[in-house]
Amino acid sequence: MSGGSWIWSASLRFMFMVPFLLVIVMRRKKLKQLFDVMKESPGTWLLWSIVGFGLFYGPICFATVYSPGWLVAGTWQFTIIAGSLLAPFFVETVQSANGPILMRGKIPAKGLLFSLIILVGIGLMQWEQAEQLSLKELWLGIFPVVVAAFAYPLGNRKMMSFVNGRLDVFQRVLGMTLASMPLWILLSIYGLMTVGPPSMNQTVQSLIVAISSGVIATVLFFMATDMVKDSMQKLASVEATQSMEVLFALAGEMVFLSIAFPSLLSWTGIFLVIVGMILHSYASRGDIKLISKEKVSQM
């Protein structure tokens, strides 16, 4: 609403995250351990941090230049399906009669079905408004977000696999933020040469986003994915919780921007999103029970 270049919205968020995460990790006396792990393979950290953070937030901020926030938030929900489609690229731990074994991940059929229900609901929520946009707005507002939808879970999962439980979530988020910093520095230099420095208003707002979304939300989300990293089904369920942001975005627009009350079609979409979320949680709960029964039978 206040304007400002997408370049500064993207880069300032991660720059402001560094001091807060540094203080947290230093107070926990785990900074040296983080640097020791990062030294093992700096190229891995650089690659997947730029994918997970850079190709996630940069394209999203770019898309907001050409499309309204509701369309970006709605399109971002493609990450629910993207996370499920990435399963074959990872190895998960499966309990068997002979103990835990490593197997190539499979696309969770039930999780994918429930994700599609959520996406149908989101599509209904956005259908009426999307008809008012030009082809350019749709293309430049959707394609970058689809790239981000794959990049975020891919970078997160790759770093979880590499770290393999040696770092806690605060260390991992700080490490990925530091490793992605070359991209944000280059982007900032480009911003200074093209659009000039950010305004004080944009700087303050970016600081608020860095604390609320960058530090608090990212740490909580990464903590949840760490807890279920060995199960593609439960990972899909955790990633599906991001669909709720569309409901919060809708509520925020109604309160602060005075948009029209949703139509019956939009409310149908909201209902489908909630149903899809419940089914995702139920499927994950069933998966947990199944694993527990297998462990009991082994005993």
What does residue 5 show for φ and ψ, rounded to 5 degrees?
-75, 145
Euclidean distance between CA atoms 243 and 238, whole angstroms: 10
More confident residue, 258 or 49: 49
The pLDDT, as a whole number, for residue 137 is: 76
- Residue range 183-195, pLDDT digits in tens: 999 999 999 999 9
Q: What is the mean pLDDT of residues 218-223?
A: 88
The pLDDT, as a whole number, for residue 255 is: 81
Query: Which of 61-70, 124-133, 165-174, 248-257 tops mean pLDDT?
Result: 165-174
The β-bridge partners of 141 are: none
The pLDDT, as a whole number, for residue 129 is: 64
At 293, the pLDDT band (50, 70, 90 cuts) reads very low
Q: Which two tokens mark 221?
A: 């989300």
At 281, the pLDDT band (50, 70, 90 cuts) reads low
Q: What is the mean pLDDT of residues 73-77?
A: 78
Q: What is the mean pLDDT of residues 208-235?
A: 84
Euclidean distance between CA atoms 96 and 253, whole angstroms: 49
Task: Report the range of poorest mean pLDDT among 3-17, 65-79, 211-225, 275-289.
Answer: 275-289
Q: What is the CA radius of gyration of the chain?
A: 20
Strands (E), 91-159: 91-96, 99-104
Q: What is the pTM of this model?
A: 0.79
Q: Contact 125/190 with Cβ under 8 angstroms? A: no
Q: What is the mean pLDDT of residues 20-47?
A: 95
The pLDDT, as a whole number, for residue 69 is: 72
More confident residue, 276 or 83: 276
Angle, CA of 156, 246 and 8, to the nearest 5°: 60
pLDDT at 32 over 90: yes
Q: What is the mean pLDDT of residues 209-235?
A: 84
Euclidean distance between CA atoms 201 and 194, whole angstroms: 19
Angle, CA of 35, 45 and 214, to the nearest 5°: 85
Q: What is the mean pLDDT of residues 114-122?
A: 81
Q: Is 132 helix (H, G, I), strand (E, B) or coil?
A: coil
The pLDDT, as a whole number, for residue 227 is: 84
Please state, in angstroms and as integers, the Cα–Cα distance from residue 8 to each residue in 33, 61, 205, 207, 263, following that order: 31, 9, 11, 11, 36
Of 71, 60, 66, 62, give the one whose Cα is nearest residue 129. Answer: 71
